[in-house]
């Protein structure tokens, strides 16, 4: 064997050894990244921890440490609304609005993603209008929408004008994500489905959708978060009933009640329950499927 | 003597006469504890406002039926320290129709009134906002003859004077922005007329809050806020129109400049004020410029600042945490010093008419019957008709909040949480002392655009 | 007669894009046209508009130092937020994609990162004070551990606090697109590279990064749009230490000075539009589709 052959062989051995190392134990990079991840999660939950702790104060409680007493007073207050601010009502509206916006964003983003896959007349204009909607400052758009509504004699409300205003904000996010997702999509798979006799609808339902499903989840996540926290565009388009961010922001001009913190704690508990149940369900389904396969 | 029409007899038994006002309170819950029923308001029974109203001959009182008005909903929109949900709930209970309060911040509120006037019924207006809204034609004049307590309003508002002295005209005083010539006028009228743009409902005199345990000496002058002894431990608030007036009061107090009208500065005065502020900021004098109410409370309570512009309930909130905090009594000394006053009022949007308009007038009248006055007094705010507020306050509260006397018992906040121990005296003393020492009022300057720009220069510095 | 392929494409395209257009027109196009028109008119000082065409609003805007200072301050925040959210976003996504074996577990960890966002942003904004303040958790912990002997003032009401708040809020917008891109990388590609002797850094540099370009670009677009257009994070967290572009014209709106606010708004729209288009060019997202 020549020297180069030896060198190549050595390289191959090293490579395979590295491969073996990878499939076996963990390398140092894993621990570094794990540490980073844990740091990130702790940093993410930092403010949340303050919220959780402080939501258990008693009636004398304020918004900061040191903590005053220990009771469920503010949870009761959250549901009975003794103090200033309509936290519960505005939370209901915000939540419902966010769900509606999420569903519409997913559907419309998906459709628009499909539309943009092939060039059609005027697609560039629509694309840049969408970017424009993303970058335009919500404050002035909100006023503009309010003026239009007033001019038309319509009454602004959270489920009409605010809904539209929020969609104008979330749709660009959703569509851009769709672009990224669909760019990985191979047209070949679609063609294969058609060759096998699938109709366009079937193709979409059975081929396209399952593959881009993770992207749709991302769109849903963005849609929900963006809508739930939306402030600038909603400020002038919500009508006579505030959404949660508007209500809280207005409360900050006066003594702000720790029932906000209770709201944070309650939503966290609900989210954990939902996530736990969903993941548990998926896990059980997977297990059963694996068991069934094993039994065959 | 006025007899209410037979419509009213429909829902009441027996004859209704106004003169004595006794014996008709039987079939509705009594007025113990300050809860008035709507019927008592309608009957104008002496138990409510009769005594204060004087003769009891109430003219032009709208007759409202229970059936007709129960579907009415009034939307009262304004800032959260003035338009409080608890007040709306009480009004709904007392009046029989629904009052919905919606809170927005000052800027969003005025924009809403101007751009979507049909979505608001009762706007909450400061003097300068009333000026803007009137000019834009979104308000209708309030017929003062229909307001039962109008003659009992403090003359600060109705005549612009008090106890012989003229109320300061620096800034936009409530009196200045109050009157219009006719119901649909779009210009403010200087002088008393029969139509008002807005009726004051809550007001106060603001000054500086400080930590008595951490300052060098008790504060009675605005210039302490910019005193180098407090470098790095001072703060002002981040609202251009208010912050600049607080700064002006400081600089005038320190004899650095004399202003023509602190509430309407010239470009040069604005430049001077802002440049001085930038200088102070670069020096590190300000720890922060606070935005939210609670920020001001936290800064003071944590000792991060020792002296700052503050609002009265914020001082109270610090004290609830058992940390000493005093609201400076900056009484006028010659041309200098004095409080910064503000006043929020009730307006009527132009689109109101018919039954809804009548309900609105009832609501406005309800405001002055005292429950609201007592409620806001526990924040440290005042009512324009103190005599009715007094009926709903305990004598101890009245002594403390209005008369500036030491409180004989523990003082509670509006939600019943104990705030001050017995024996404390309200900062600044009695109501008369504080209100007569107002030096300037919240305002909108002619050079507002320029002032905003320069304020941003200060923030970016 | 059968429709030509091109016409059919146009019709399908428009049918699918119609909902988007129906939303954009009343909620973006019309208002922005109104704003643009207002920016060329005069204010009567009382919230009214005088229909006089004028360049004044733009002239004042371009001739004042303030505009430059505001943009400089806002762009700085955008830059630092972008750097840190990219750093954390990339490595968290990398960890979740390449180092977590069980898919379900990775999903669970990912959802764990999303839970704080179910609590309203503004509540979290308020809760920064008990965390970062002088008497807050972090300072108390550091003091108790003896690492510092004076509470750190710079954690709150400073530019650092603003960046912390933004990164906290926006890293998720980086993680999601990058995660999406990374998840599509064929693991066998990575295995082959390692077998051929590539180091870990080489793998990242030569395989992962290029394939995540669109994810990174997307995340960057999101971060840039949100930070440039935001005002209340800066207002609340900086303690008035700095201002932002939107914050400045928010105050103009507060005194009904519509024309000057409109001019600022249009200028901001144009600038951020150009920034986003620049990012899109680096990836040519549209090309990737067809």
CATH assignment at residue B195: 3.40.190.10
Q: pLDDT averaged over chain C?
A: 87
Does residue B33 have a pLDDT over 90? no
User: How many Cβ atoms from other residues are within 10 Å of residue C140's Cβ?
Assistant: 15
Look at residue B224 and tell me if it is in a domain: yes
The pLDDT score that the predictor gives to residue A11 is 60
pLDDT over 70 at C1, yes or no? no
As given in the structure block, the two tokens for residue A118 are: 């092939």
Neighbouring chains of C at 3+ CB pairs under 8 Å are A, B
B20 with B146, same domain: the answer is yes
With contacts defined as CB-CB under 8 Å, which chain A residues touch C129?
63-64
B216 and B174 within one domain: no
pLDDT at B423 (0 to 100): 78
CB of C252 within 8 Å of any CB in chain B?
yes
Which runs of consecutive H residues, i.e. helices, occur in C95-144? 103-114, 121-132, 137-144
Confidence at residue A7, expressed as pLDDT on a 0 to 100 scale: 60
- Hey, are the CB atoms on A51 and C115 less than 8 Å from each other? no
The SS3 of residue A139 is helix
Q: State whether the Cα torsion B39-B40-B45-B51 is positive or negative.
A: negative
User: Bridge partners of A146?
Assistant: none
Considering only alpha carbons, which residue of chain B is nearest residue C156? Answer: B288
* Chain A CB within 8 Å of residue C55 CB: no
In A, minimum Cα distance to C269 occurs at A136
pLDDT-based confidence at residue C236 (cuts at 50, 70, 90): confident
Q: How far is B458 from chain C (nearest CA, A)?
A: 9
> Does residue B23 surpass a pLDDT of 80?
no
For the whole model, what pTM was predicted? 0.85
| A275 in B contact zone (CB under 8 Å) | no
Q: Report pLDDT for C9.
A: 78
Q: Is C94 on the interface with A (CB under 8 A)?
A: yes
Average confidence score pLDDT of chain A? 84
- Greatest Cα pair distance in chain C: 85
**Nearest-CA distance C21 → chain B (Å):** 25
Q: Which residue of A has its CA nearest to B414?
A: A83
Does residue B411 belong to any structural domain of this protein? no
Domain assignment present for B18: yes
**Dihedral sign from CA coordinates of A116, A119, A120, A124:** positive
Residues B132 and B236 in one domain: no
* Structural tokens at position A210: 């399952």
Say how far apart CA C29 and CA B334 lie, in whole Å: 57
Q: Which residues of A touch C195 (CB under 8 A)?
A: 15-16, 18-19
Question: What is chain B's mean pLDDT, rounded?
Answer: 82
pLDDT value of residue A133: 95
Locate the chain A residue with the closest alpha carbon to C246. Answer: A137
| Interchain CB distance below 8 Å, B238 and C254 | no
Shared-domain flag, residues B353 and B437: no
Q: What is the pLDDT of residues B358-412, one digit of tens each?
A: 999 999 999 999 899 998 888 888 999 999 999 999 888 888 888 888 888 888 8
B21 and B77 both lie in a single domain:
yes
Query: Which residues of C fall within a CB distance of 8 Å from A228?
Result: 117-118, 120-121
Residue A163 phi, psi dihedral angles, 5° rounding: -60, -50
A245-249, C20-24, C188-192: range with highest mean pLDDT: C20-24
Task: Name the residue among B325, B282, B278, B285 with its Cα closest to residue B301.
Answer: B325
Give the tens place of pLDDT for each residue, C96-123: 988 888 888 888 898 899 899 888 888 8
In terms of pLDDT, which residue wins out, B226 or C239?
B226
Identify all chain B residues contacting C251, using CB atoms and an 8 Å cutoff.
107, 240, 452, 455-456
Q: Residue A64 and residue C130: Cβ atoms within 8 Å?
A: yes
pLDDT at B8: 38
Top pLDDT among B195 and B3 is at B195
- Rounded-to-integer distance, Cα A34 and Cα A28, Å: 10
Distance CA B364, CA B367 (A): 5
In angstroms, the CA C61 to CA C55 distance is 10
Q: Are B122 and B98 in contact (CB under 8 A)?
A: no
Does residue B408 form part of some domain?
Answer: no
How far off is chain B from A251, nearest CA to CA, in Å?
A: 6
- In this predicted model, what pLDDT tens digit does every residue of B76-119 receive, in sequence order? 999 988 888 889 999 999 988 899 999 998 989 999 999 999 99
- What is the average pLDDT across C183-196? 82
φ and ψ of A200, to 5 deg: -55, -45
Q: Please indicate whether, in this complex, the C-beta atoms of C64 and B455 are within 8 angstroms of each other.
A: no
Contacts of C128 in chain B (CB under 8 A): none
Q: Say if residue B12 is in the same domain as residue B141.
A: yes
Rounded Cα distance, B176 and B32, in Å? 39
The gap from C-alpha A255 to its chain's centroid, in whole angstroms, comes to 31
- The span from the first CA to the last CA of chain C, in angstroms, equals 28
Question: Is residue B403 one of the residues assigned to a domain?
Answer: no
> Which pLDDT score, from 0 to 100, does residue B350 have?
93
Interface contact B304-C248, CB threshold 8 A: no
| Residues pairing with B307 in the sheet | B210, B234
Whether residues B46 and B69 share a domain: the answer is yes
Q: State which residues form the domain around B103.
A: 2-203+342-397
Do B72 and B134 sit in the same domain of this protein? yes
Q: Does A139 contact chain B (CB < 8 Å)? A: no
Same domain, B428 and B349: no
Read off φ and ψ for residue A157, nearest 5 degrees. Answer: -155, 165
**Which tokens hold the place of C62?**
């371009």
- Cα dihedral sign, A235-A237-A238-A240: positive
Quote the pLDDT of residue C18.
92
For residue C242, the Cα-to-chain-centroid distance in whole angstroms is 19
pLDDT of B351 higher than 90: yes
Please report residues of C whose CB lies closer than 8 A to that of A232. 229, 231, 246
List the domains of chain A with CATH numbers. Answer: 86-254 (1.10.3720.10)
What is the structure's pLDDT at C286?
55
Q: Is the CB of B302 less than 8 angstroms away from the CB of C236? A: no
Judged against a pLDDT cut of 50, whether residue B58 lies above it is answered with no
A144 interaction partners in chain C (CB closer than 8 Å): 30-32, 34-35
The distance from CA A159 to its chain's CA centroid, rounded to whole angstroms, is: 20
Residue B44 pLDDT: 44
CB nearest to B80's CB, from A59, A235, A253: A253
What residues of chain B lie within 8 A of the CB of A231, using their CB? Answer: none
Query: Mind listing the domains of chain C with CATH numbers?
Result: 65-289 (1.10.3720.10)
pLDDT value, residue A132? 95
Instruction: Give residue-wise pLDDT tens across range A202-221.
Output: 777 878 888 888 889 889 99
Asked if B258 and B388 sit in the same domain, the reply is no
For C150-160, how does the pLDDT look when each residue is reduced to its tens digit (9 = 90+)?
A: 888 888 888 89
Say if A110 is an interface residue toward chain B (CB within 8 Å).
Answer: no
C110 interface with B at CB cutoff 8 Å? no
Rounded Cα distance, A128 and A114, in Å: 17
Give contacts of B444 with chain C, Cβ < 8 Å. Answer: 255
pLDDT less than 70: residues of chain A: 1-25, 82-84, 184-186, 296
Q: Taking 90 as the threshold, does the pLDDT of residue B55 lie above it?
A: no
Query: How many Cβ atoms are within 10 Å of A287's Cβ, its own excluded?
Result: 10
pLDDT tens, position by position, C27-63: 999 999 999 999 999 888 787 888 889 898 999 889 8
Is the link from the previous residue into A184 a cis peptide, with omega within 30 of 0? no
Local confidence band at C282 (pLDDT 50, 70, 90 cut-offs): confident
Instruction: Give me the interface pTM, i.e. the ipTM.
Output: 0.90
As a whole-number percent, the residues of chain C with pLDDT over 70 amount to: 97
> Is A167's CB within 8 Å of C27's CB?
yes
Sign of the torsion angle spanned by Cα atoms A265, A267, A268, A273: positive
Residues B333 and B276 in one domain: yes
Which residues make beta-bridge pairs with B441? Answer: B341
Higher-pLDDT residue of A155, B198: B198
Same domain, B191 and B316: no
pLDDT of residue A70: 86
Q: How far apart are the first and last CA of chain B?
A: 67
Integer Cα distance of A211 and A213 in angstroms: 6
Domains held by chain B: number: 2
């Amino acid at each position: 064997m020549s020297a180069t052959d030896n060198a190549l062989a050595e390289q191959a051995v090293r490579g395979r050894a590295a491969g073996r190392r990878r499939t076996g134990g963990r390398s140092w990079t894993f621990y570094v990244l794990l540490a980073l991840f844990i740091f990130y999660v702790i940093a993410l939950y930092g403010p949340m921890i303050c919220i959780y702790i402080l939501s258990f104060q008693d009636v004398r409680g304020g918004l900061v440490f040191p903590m005053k007493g220990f009771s469920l007073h503010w949870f009761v207050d959250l549901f009975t609304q003794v103090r200033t601010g309509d936290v519960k009502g505005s939370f209901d509206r915000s939540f419902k609005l966010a769900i509606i916006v999420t569903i519409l964003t997913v559907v419309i983003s998906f459709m628009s993603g499909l539309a943009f896959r092939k060039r059609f007349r005027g697609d560039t204009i629509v694309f840049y209008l969408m970017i424009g909607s993303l970058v335009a400052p919500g404050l002035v758009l909100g006023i503009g929408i309010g003026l239009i509504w007033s001019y038309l004699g319509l009454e602004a409300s959270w489920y009409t004008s605010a809904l539209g205003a929020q969609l104008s904000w979330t749709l660009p996010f959703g569509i851009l994500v769709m672009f990224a997702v669909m760019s990985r999509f191979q047209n070949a798979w679609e063609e294969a489905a058609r060759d096998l006799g699938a109709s366009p609808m079937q193709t979409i339902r059975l081929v396209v959708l399952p593959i881009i499903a993770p992207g749709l989840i991302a769109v849903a996540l963005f849609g929900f978060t963006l809508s739930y926290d939306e402030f600038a565009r909603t400020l002038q388009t919500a009508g006579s009933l505030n959404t949660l961010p508007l209500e809280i922001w207005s409360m900050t001009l006066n003594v702000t009640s720790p029932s906000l913190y209770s709201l944070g704690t309650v939503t966290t508990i609900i989210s954990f329950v939902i996530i736990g149940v969903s993941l548990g369900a998926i896990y059980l389904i997977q297990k059963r499927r694996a068991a069934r396969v094993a039994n065959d | 003597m006025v007899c209410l029409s037979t419509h009213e007899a429909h829902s009441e038994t027996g004859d209704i006469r106004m003169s004595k006002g006794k014996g008709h309170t039987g079939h509705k819950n009594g007025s113990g504890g300050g809860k008035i029923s709507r019927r008592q308001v309608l009957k104008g029974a002496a138990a409510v406002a009769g005594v204060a109203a004087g003769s009891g001959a109430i003219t032009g009182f709208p007759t409202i039926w229970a059936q007709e008005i129960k579907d009415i909903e009034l939307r009262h929109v304004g800032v959260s320290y003035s338009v409080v949900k608890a007040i709306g709930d009480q009004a709904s209970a007392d009046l029989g129709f629904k009052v919905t309060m919606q809170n927005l911040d000052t800027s969003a509120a005025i924009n809403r009134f101007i751009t979507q006037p049909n979505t608001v019924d009762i706007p909450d207006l400061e003097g300068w906002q009333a000026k803007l809204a009137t000019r834009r034609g979104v308000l209708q004049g309030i017929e003062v003859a229909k307001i039962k307590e109008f003659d009992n309003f403090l003359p600060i508002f109705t005549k612009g004077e008090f106890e012989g002295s003229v109320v300061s005209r620096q800034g936009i005083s409530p009196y200045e922005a109050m009157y219009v010539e006719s119901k649909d006028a779009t210009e403010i009228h200087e002088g008393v007329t029969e139509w008002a743009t807005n009726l004051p409902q809550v007001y106060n005199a603001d000054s500086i809050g400080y930590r008595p345990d951490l300052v060098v000496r008790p504060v009675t002058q605005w210039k302490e806020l910019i005193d180098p002894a407090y470098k790095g431990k001072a703060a002002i608030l981040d609202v251009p129109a208010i912050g600049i007036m607080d700064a002006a009061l400081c600089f005038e107090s320190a004899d650095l400049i004399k202003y023509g009208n602190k509430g309407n500065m010239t470009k040069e005065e604005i430049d001077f004020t802002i440049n001085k502020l930038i200088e102070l900021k670069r020096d590190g004098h300000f720890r922060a410029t606070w935005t939210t109410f609670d920020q001001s409370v936290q800064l003071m309570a944590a000792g991060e600042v020792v002296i700052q512009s503050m609002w009265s309930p914020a001082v109270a909130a610090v004290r609830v945490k058992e940390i000493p905090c005093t609201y400076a009594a900056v009484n006028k000394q010659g041309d200098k010093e004095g409080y910064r006053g503000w006043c929020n009022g009730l307006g009527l949007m132009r689109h109101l008419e018919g039954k809804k308009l009548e309900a609105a007038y009832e609501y406005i009248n309800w405001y002055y019957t005292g429950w609201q006055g007592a409620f806001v007094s526990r924040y440290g705010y005042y009512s324009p008709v103190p005599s009715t507020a007094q009926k709903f306050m305990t004598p101890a509260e009245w002594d403390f909040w209005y008369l500036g006397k030491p409180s004989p018992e523990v003082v509670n906040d509006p939600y019943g949480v104990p705030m001050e121990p017995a024996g404390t005296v309200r900062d600044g003393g009695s109501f008369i002392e504080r209100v007569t020492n107002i030096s300037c009022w919240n305002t909108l300057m002619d050079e507002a655009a320029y002032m905003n720009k320069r304020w941003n220069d200060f923030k970016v510095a | 007669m059968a429709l030509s392929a091109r016409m059919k494409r146009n019709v399908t395209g428009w049918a699918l894009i119609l909902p988007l257009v129906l939303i954009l027109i009343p909620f973006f196009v019309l208002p922005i046209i109104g704003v643009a028109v207002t920016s060329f008119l005069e204010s009567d000082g009382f919230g009214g508009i005088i229909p006089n065409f004028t360049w004044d609003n733009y002239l004042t805007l371009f001739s004042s130092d303030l505009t430059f200072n505001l943009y400089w301050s806002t762009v700085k925040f955008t830059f630092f937020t972008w750097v840190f959210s990219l750093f954390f976003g990339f490595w968290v996504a990398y960890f979740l994609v390449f180092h977590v074996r069980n898919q379900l577990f990775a999903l669970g960890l990912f959802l764990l990162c999303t839970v704080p966002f179910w609590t309203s942003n503004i509540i979290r904004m308020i809760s920064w004070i008990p965390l970062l303040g002088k008497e807050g958790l972090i300072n108390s912990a550091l003091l108790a551990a003896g690492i510092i002997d004076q509470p750190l003032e710079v954690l709150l009401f400073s530019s650092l606090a603003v960046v912390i708040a933004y990164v906290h809020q926006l890293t998720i917008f980086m993680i999601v697109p990058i995660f999406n891109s990374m998840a599509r990388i064929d693991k066998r590609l990575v295995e082959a590279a390692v077998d051929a002797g590539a180091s870990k850094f080489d793998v990242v540099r030569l395989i992962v990064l290029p394939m995540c370009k669109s994810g990174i670009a997307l995340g960057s677009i999101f971060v840039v749009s949100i930070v440039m257009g935001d005002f209340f994070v800066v207002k609340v967290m900086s303690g008035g230490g700095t201002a932002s572009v939107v914050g400045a014209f928010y105050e103009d709106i507060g005194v009904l000075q519509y024309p000057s606010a409109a001019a600022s708004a249009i200028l901001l729209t144009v600038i951020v539009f150009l920034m986003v288009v620049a990012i899109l060019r680096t990836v040519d997202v549209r090309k990737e589709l067809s």
